[in-house]
């Protein structure tokens, strides 16, 4: 058995409401709320970045007496907002975690919002070849956008860490399948502070094509249908896309509603779909099957079939309690936190 032995997450305490962003630019807040169905989002502080958030999430994943940090044989960091353009975050995280075994594989991955799930596929294969031991996968982003751009209403901050292993598995990874193509719906050139996107093009030819094809192929490969799962989780650029794709695949509201954290946390990019998984794991029971599919612009999707084991109970994290610890900020403070220079705009 291979899969998630433990997990952790980090959500910054700061929040900004969609209505506050809309008010600052004189836009119709109700129209935006109706379109995106995102009421507020999490915002990293001025002294936080993808690296510090990943460390916090990883610390939570490893904070158990029966987990030996020196048995970590791989550390992988996925993000589209890395703290350094040149210098891996994975080795910094390992050092901060006190991993004294220097014989571990480390690298950072970049594939927009599926950077971490791509690393998860690699980590799973790597640890199966090097068991016993663990591989740590972190997905973390402090997502930013051009002021007044449509992305500003959803681009958020958060981090998730998954400890992958073959013993005491809490969530078994039954199977995985990926679907990829050259579909440039979202990009950020080197040296640019903000990403660009192709508007509505990000929908049907990008998100829906890749998520649908990856999901359908994995279900058919395993001879499973939507009704065989207790939960489903899809990447969440907003609240409409995951609901639409879930319904098209045959999933019902009770299977996807717990995962829709984007409505109150925003889209944390490489942590987005994984944050949905965090919310589901707070409620999932032994034997529950979870269908999961990420999406990364450029473009690709990684689909997974998870099954919960009896070991989840001793690793379960309090997601809702952490999320409820929040402090609202105004738009000027938000821009000050998010500007690369740290000096506002």
Give the DSSP letter string of 109-147: E-BTBTHHHHHHHHHHHHHHHS-SSEEEEEEEEE----T
Identify the CATH number of the domain in which residue 92 sits: 3.40.47.10
pTM > 0.85: yes or no: yes
Q: Are residues 259 and 328 in the same domain?
A: no
Q: Tokens 């994984």 — which residue? A: 274
Per residue in 233-255, pLDDT tens? Answer: 999 999 999 999 999 999 999 99
Asked, for residue 344, whether it belongs to a domain, the answer is no
Asked, for residue 285, whether it belongs to a domain, the answer is yes
235 part of the active site? yes
Please tell me which residue in 48, 80, 152, 307 is annotated as part of the active site: 80
**More confident site: 115 or 186:** 115
Q: Are residues 128 and 14 in the same domain?
A: yes
The verdict on whether omega for the bond into residue 103 sits within 30 degrees of 0, i.e. cis, is no
80 part of the active site? yes
The helix (run of H) or strand (run of E) holding residue 327 is: strand 327-328
Asked, for residue 221, whether it belongs to a domain, the answer is yes
- 189, pLDDT greater than 90: no
Q: Are residues 137 and 109 in the same domain?
A: yes
Q: Are residues 179 and 121 in the same domain?
A: no
Range of the domain at 24: 3-170+315-338
Q: Are residues 63 and 96 in the same domain?
A: yes
Please tell me which residue in 40, 48, 113, 210 is annotated as part of the active site: 113
For residues 344 and 114, what is the distance between their CA atoms, to the nearest angstrom?
29
Q: Are residues 323 and 286 in the same domain?
A: no
Q: Are residues 202 and 241 in the same domain?
A: yes
Asked, for residue 92, whether it belongs to a domain, the answer is yes
> Given CA atoms 168, 251, 214, 32 in this order, what sign does their dihedral have?
negative
pLDDT at 191: 72
- The total domain count for the chain is 2
pLDDT at 344: 36
Q: Tokens 């029966």 — which residue? A: 66
Per residue in 70-91, pLDDT tens? Answer: 999 999 999 999 999 899 999 9
Q: Are residues 166 and 145 in the same domain?
A: yes
Asked, for residue 14, whether it belongs to a domain, the answer is yes
Asked, for residue 220, whether it belongs to a domain, the answer is yes
pLDDT at 195: 73
Q: Are residues 26 and 160 in the same domain?
A: yes
210 part of the active site? no
Q: Are residues 188 and 101 in the same domain?
A: no
Asked, for residue 73, whether it belongs to a domain, the answer is yes
Please tell me which residue in 40, 48, 232, 235 is annotated as part of the active site: 235
Q: Tokens 């995102």 — which residue? A: 38
How buried is residue 152: exposed, middle or buried, by Cβ count under 10 Å (0-12/13-18/19+)?
buried
Asked, for residue 75, whether it belongs to a domain, the answer is yes
Q: Tokens in use for 337?
A: 């936190």
Q: Are residues 186 and 297 in the same domain?
A: yes
Q: Are residues 155 and 96 in the same domain?
A: yes
């Amino acid at each position: 058995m291979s899969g998630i032995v433990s997990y952790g997450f980090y959500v910054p305490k700061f929040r900004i409401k969609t209505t506050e962003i809309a008010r600052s630019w004189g836009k119709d807040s109700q129209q935006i709320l109706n379109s995106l169905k995102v009421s507020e989002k999490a915002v990293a502080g001025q002294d936080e970045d993808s690296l510090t958030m990943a460390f916090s999430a990883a610390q939570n994943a490893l904070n158990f007496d029966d987990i030996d940090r020196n048995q970590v044989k791989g550390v992988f960091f996925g993000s589209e907002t890395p703290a350094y353009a040149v210098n891996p975050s994975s080795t910094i995280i390992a050092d901060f975690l006190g991993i004294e075994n220097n014989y571990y594989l480390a690298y950072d991955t970049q594939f927009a919002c599926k950077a971490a799930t791509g690393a998860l596929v690699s980590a799973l294969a790597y640890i199966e070849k090097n068991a016993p031991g663990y591989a740590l996968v972190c997905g973390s982003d402090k997502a930013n956008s051009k002021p007044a751009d449509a992305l500003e209403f959803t681009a958020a901050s958060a981090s998730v860490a998954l400890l992958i292993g073959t013993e005491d598995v809490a969530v078994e990874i039954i199977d995985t399948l990926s679907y990829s193509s050259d579909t440039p719906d979202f990009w950020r050139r080197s040296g640019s502070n903000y990403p660009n996107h192709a508007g509505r093009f990000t929908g049907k030819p990008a998100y829906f094509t890749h998520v649908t094809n990856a999901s359908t192929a994995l279900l058919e490969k395993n001879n499973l249908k939507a009704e065989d799962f207790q939960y489903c989780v899809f990447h969440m650029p907003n609240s409409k896309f995951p609901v639409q794709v879930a319904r098209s695949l045959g999933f019902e509201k009770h299977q996807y509603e717990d995962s829709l954290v984007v409505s109150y946390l925003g889209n944390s990019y490489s942590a987005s779909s994984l944050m949905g998984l965090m919310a589901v794991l707070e409620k999932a029971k032994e034997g529950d099957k979870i269908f999961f599919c990420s999406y990364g612009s450029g473009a690709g999707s990684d689909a997974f079939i998870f099954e919960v084991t009896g070991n989840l109970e001793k690793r379960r994290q309090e997601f809702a309690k952490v999320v409820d610890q929040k402090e609202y900020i105004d738009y000027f403070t938000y821009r000050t936190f998010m500007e690369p220079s740290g000096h506002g705009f």
